[in-house]
Every structure is written in C-alpha cells, then in structure tokens.
Amino acid sequence: MINPILVLDVFLLLLVAATAIAVISVRSLFSATILAGIYSLLMALVWTNMHALDVAFTEASVGAGISTILLLGALVLTKRFAKKEATVHVPALLICVITGLVLIYGTIDMPKFGDPNAPIHTHRVPRLVQQQVGKHETAAPRDKGHAHEGHPDDDFNGHAPNTVTSLLAAYRGYDTMFETAVIFVAGISLLLLLRRRREGDPGVVASSPADRNGPREGRGRETEGSRS
C-alpha cells in the first residue's frame, strides 16, 4: 500500500532538486532568478503538504515574492549573463558532499515524521497548545477568558487559535522582538551605506563638470572616489 501523500512529497522534492540544479547550471541571470522563484514556490507546496502552513506562507511571500523582485531589481544594475564558470572544483565538491552526508546521517536519529510518541508531542507542547504556560511564577494567572460576544463559533475563549503565532509572539516573545530589531538594524545599516547624499554636504566631495557626462564605465570609479 503506497501512501499517496508520500508519493506527492517525493514527486515535489524531485522537482525541487531539478530546479535547484537548473538554477546553478543556467547562465542567463534572468532565468536563474525566475527559477529561484519557482524553487521557493515548490518548497511552499512541500511545506503545505506537511501541514506547516505558516512556513509555506513565509516561503511563498518572502522566497517567491520579495526576494525574486529584489533580485530582479538588482539584475537591472548588472549584466544579463553570468561569466563562464571554470570546470568543477574538486575540493569544494568534496566538502559539499561530505557536509551533506553528515547532515543526512544526523537525520537518522530524528523521530519519524508524524510519530505521535515523538518528544515534541509528549513533553511541553500539549501544555503550550492549551496555552496554560506562563512565562514566570509571577505571570498573570492563566484563566479560560470569556467567549467573544457575538461570535457563537468562537470556542477559543479569547486565546489565539493559531499555535504558531502564539508560540512566536508569546512563548518566544523576546526572540521575536529581537528578530524585529535585527530587521530594523538591517534597514538602518542599508540607509547608512547606500543613502543618496547631496554634493556639498559634509563629507561629500563635489564632482567636476567634466565627470558628469563621462562614459558609463567611469561612473563607478567616480562614485568610489567621491566617497573616500
């Protein structure tokens, strides 16, 4: 008896592997970008097949959506084709294969997918799903809340029904806060590095009129010079 979900999983993962090989072998950067988007979309399907809807959502919106768009934006500034690659670099290939084998060896110890007796299903998660876990002894006592008025179908008693969100935002609230801080710092450093500045501002060297209508190749060096 073949499990149809397993068959679908294997089929999707084969497609994912084929797309990944296509991404690294194709020389047109535009094709590579679009193939990377397809890769993310296929991975989103794999996550959906595993009932990891939040991960699938993130993969689809970030991997297939935003990062494809950002790569396309970066593509405008570069050439359309990658340089001809040298032949296969044997030591690098060996390191990759060995790392992959070690990782696969590591998964042998993991419990089987969907095993109800896996530690994650017996240890702490049942209490988390009930959402009775406070952060600290002094935390507010967990009650059942009261049902939302006007919502007869709401049997969650005011708790957050999406376990993933309640784990991310409440149980691992510090973690998520500093993740947000990391994103914020990334934005700030991007602004510090790449923001356009006016000529004549402190620290910005004015360019001479001869540079302005110069050839395109000169532009990169000119900006380099004006920054230093």
Partner 1 sequence: MASPDRGRPGEQMSQQTLLRVVAKMTIPFILVFGVYVILHGEIGPGGGFQGGVILAAAFILYGLVFGADELRRRIPPPIIDACMALGALFYASVGLASLLRGGTFLDYGMLKPHHAGDGEALGMSLVEYGVGLTVCSVMVTIYLMISERRSTIRPGEEGL
Contacting positions for partner 1 (CB under 8 A): 53-54, 56-58, 61-62, 65-66, 69-70, 72-74, 76-77, 131, 134-136, 138-146, 157-162, 164-166, 168-170, 173-174, 176-177, 180-181, 183-184, 186-188, 190-191, 194-200, 204, 206-207, 212, 216, 219, 223, 226-227
The nearest distance, CB 22 to partner 1, in angstroms, is 25
Closest CA to 158 of 172, 169, 143: 143
Residue 154's contacts (CB-CB under 8 Å, 6 or more residues apart) are 147, 148
SS3 at position 59: helix
**Angle, alpha carbons 35-37-38 (nearest 5°):** 65
| Cβ 186 vs Cβ 180: under 8 Å | no
Closer CB to partner 1, residue 124 or residue 197? Answer: 197
The nearest distance, CB 84 to partner 1, in angstroms, is 26
The nearest distance, CB 36 to partner 1, in angstroms, is 16
Closer CB to partner 1, residue 15 or residue 170? Answer: 170
Closer CB to partner 1, residue 109 or residue 143? Answer: 143
Closer CB to partner 1, residue 89 or residue 172? Answer: 172
The nearest distance, CB 12 to partner 1, in angstroms, is 19
SS3 at position 28: strand
The Cα-based distances of 199 to 30, 62, 141, 205 in angstroms read: 35, 36, 60, 6
